[in-house]
Structure 1
Amino acid sequence: MTDIRLAAFDMAGTTIDEHGDVYRALENCVTETGTPVDAADLQTWMGTDKVEAITQLLGLGGHAGDEATVAACFDRFRALLAEYYAVHPPVGLPGAEDALRTLGEAGVKVALTTGFSADVAGPLLDSLGWKVGEGELLDAVVTSDEVAAGRPYPYMIHRAMERTGVRSVAQVLVAGDTVVDAQAGAASGAAQVVGVLTGALTAEDFAGSGTTAVLGSVAEVPAHLGLG
């Protein structure tokens, strides 16, 4: 029996395979303004709130990043993402859905947190048939527009605790495929902060990020907790 009562997972690249389309949409919405995007900068800001990511990428590329440009880029990001998803619909990563069900059956609450806004995350989850509620796969979903600040701030994790009735961070596991996922987990005080290698990072890339473990994928989390 595990002491963990809440497992909070990132979405794209951690539990969901969206074929790298978030990266493409984020990069392209910025480069279409004539602003270059460095690959390392794109990776750094990938897991953050997408408005914040666009603002930072514009600035790093030498663009003033005024409010109107950021808003237009975000609208373009959503349009591009919908276009890409229509061609290559997202799917659950191998073993992810089974892992979430195993956790739920063991009494662990399952939450997803994401740098997406609610209007992007909702249709994505609907397309997978992943629902929130009693007897469903998920107990909570928290999007970046529901909190004061997204990753690396810990607020989405704390909101997931609030929604699932988990009182202590000593009972929380956080997992994600980016450094900011791990940084948010560490900032939250979560007992376990797991980096997973289903995104673009290697185990070495998580060094210094606050992880307590690095696993190949979310599919390994139940065994990591001694479940199933």
Structure 2
Amino acid sequence: MAGTTVADDGAIALAFQRAMQEWGYFIPVSLINPLMGYKKPEAIRIMLSEYETNEDRITTKLVDRIHDRFLAHMLGHYRYAAIMPLPHVEASFARLRSAGIRVALDTGFSRDIADVILGRLGWLRNGLVDDLVASDEVPKGRPYPYMINRLMERAGITDPLEVVKVGDTEVDIHEGLNAGCLFSIAVTTGAFTADALVPHNPSFIIDDLSQLMPLLEHVTATA
């Protein structure tokens, strides 16, 4: 969601930073940004592994407490701050759906945050988005394929070659590859540049979601 379809004003990384600081860990935002695509408790555990010298302190209880503070910061932000779709996203959703392509979102956020965002944007209510799954609704988040698998199951899709994954992080790319999707497409509207995404072997890299449908039409026509 954030960085791919929803504008990220930096609040997510700052919420991580604040939550970690409350427990005595001072982490630069520049080191938090690359973890944006991960399931949030997993991102916290990764940060702790770098900044906590006593491994015995890195417990599920500590991760949960930091995550609770992160959730509080993010829910407060998304309930009251402006939430904006990235440019051309809604038009791109409409174009995909008019071509008979289902639009589904998966996210490293937990369901409570995702519901606030989608509730304010109205994408489920107005039919721009068909489905959503959050990382706390599956056994593991990205780069594991479980969120894509869940969406496929609910859509009645059994062949991953009928699925195209789009995301702005390295774990998005690997999620699509691990799910066996037809394409795993990277978009540069989030935390990573094209040069940073190339080593993760995306099927294609686009700079704007408006390029997605023309790309699919071109690939289909030349196949």
Q: Structure 1 CA distance, aligned partners of 2:31 and 2:8?
A: 20
Q: Structure 1 CA distance, aligned partners of 2:26 and 2:116?
A: 30
Does the Cα contact within 8 Å between 2:103 and 2:131 map onto a contact in 1? yes
The number of equivalent residue pairs is 215
Higher relative contact order (CA 8 A, sep 6+): 1
Does the Cα contact within 8 Å between 2:14 and 2:29 map onto a contact in 1? no
Q: Structure 2 CA distance, aligned partners of 1:182 and 1:39?
A: 22
Does the Cα contact within 8 Å between 1:18 and 1:85 map onto a contact in 2? no
Structure 1 segment 67-86 matched on structure 2, within 5 A:
67-86=60-79
Q: 1:174 to 1:191 in 2, by over 3 A?
A: same
Does the Cα contact within 8 Å between 1:18 and 1:89 map onto a contact in 2? no
Q: Structure 2 CA distance, aligned partners of 1:27 and 1:218?
A: 29
Instruction: Give TM-score, length-normalised by structure 2.
Output: 0.90
TM-superposition CA deviations, 1:20-41 (whole Å, max 9, x none): 2112112221122111325554
Instruction: Give TM-score, length-normalised by structure 1.
Output: 0.88
1:61 to 43, 51, 60: 51
1:144 to 135, 138, 145: 135
Q: Kindly state the Cα deviation for residue 45 of structure 1 after the two structures are TM-superposed.
A: 2.1
Unaligned runs of 5+ in 2: 219-223
Q: Percent identity?
A: 35
Aligned with 1:195: secondary structure? strand
Q: Structure 2 CA distance, aligned partners of 1:85 and 1:121?
A: 9
Q: Which structure shows the bigger proportion of residues in helix conformation?
A: 2
Q: Structure 1 CA distance, aligned partners of 2:139 and 2:155?
A: 19
Unaligned runs of 5+ in 1: 1-10
RMSD: 1.8
Q: Structure 2 CA distance, aligned partners of 1:204 and 1:27?
A: 26
Does the Cα contact within 8 Å between 1:139 and 1:164 map onto a contact in 2? no
Structure 1 segment 65-214 matched on structure 2, within 5 A:
65-86=58-79, 88-131=81-124, 136-214=127-205
1:50 aligns with 2:43: no
Q: Structure 1 CA distance, aligned partners of 2:115 and 2:49?
A: 29
1:26 aligns with 2:16: yes
TM-superposition CA deviations, 1:65-121 (whole Å, max 9, x none): 222221221111111112333553211111001101110110001100000111111
Aligned with 1:17: secondary structure? coil
